[in-house]
């Protein structure tokens, strides 16, 4: 996920949904969050800036579902409810490409 949960309520809600869902899938799923914009009290990581630029991220939060081969299978732009994330992650883990 690209976002800033400490700065933006929709990032916080989306990240909370992601971190609630990920443990259900054990070692098959990992969650990574990168900040790509400065908040009042923190600077973005260079990796986040570079990745956001490479992937065309505008706004936040953006969630990318990436398969084991590193292929982006789905992008959610903006707030995404936990049930939607869980369903799409389940499809990806089961080998169904969203």
What CATH number has the domain bearing residue 45?
Answer: 3.40.30.10
CA distance 83 to 98: 15
Describe the crossing of helices 9-21 and 82-93 by its angle, rounded to 10 degrees.
40
CA distance 1 to 22: 13
Contact 92, 65 (CB under 8 A): yes
- What digits encode the pLDDT tens for the residues 9-67? 888 899 999 999 999 999 999 998 887 665 655 656 777 667 767 777 766 788 989 99
CA distance 60 to 63: 9
34 three-state secondary structure: strand
Note whether residue 1 is domain-resident: no
Average pLDDT of the segment spanning 66-74: 90
Note whether residue 2 is domain-resident: no
């Amino acid at each position: 996920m690209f976002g800033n949960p400490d700065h933006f309520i929709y990032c916080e809600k989306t990240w909370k949904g992601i971190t609630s869902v990920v443990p259900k899938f054990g070692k098959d799923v990992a969650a990574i969050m990168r900040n790509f914009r400065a908040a009042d009290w923190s600077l973005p990581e260079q990796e986040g800036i570079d990745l956001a630029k490479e992937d065309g991220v505008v706004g936040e939060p953006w969630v990318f579902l990436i398969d084991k081969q590193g292929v982006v299978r789905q992008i959610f732009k903006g707030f995404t409810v936990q049930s939607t994330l869980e369903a799409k992650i389940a499809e990806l883990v089961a080998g169904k490409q969203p």
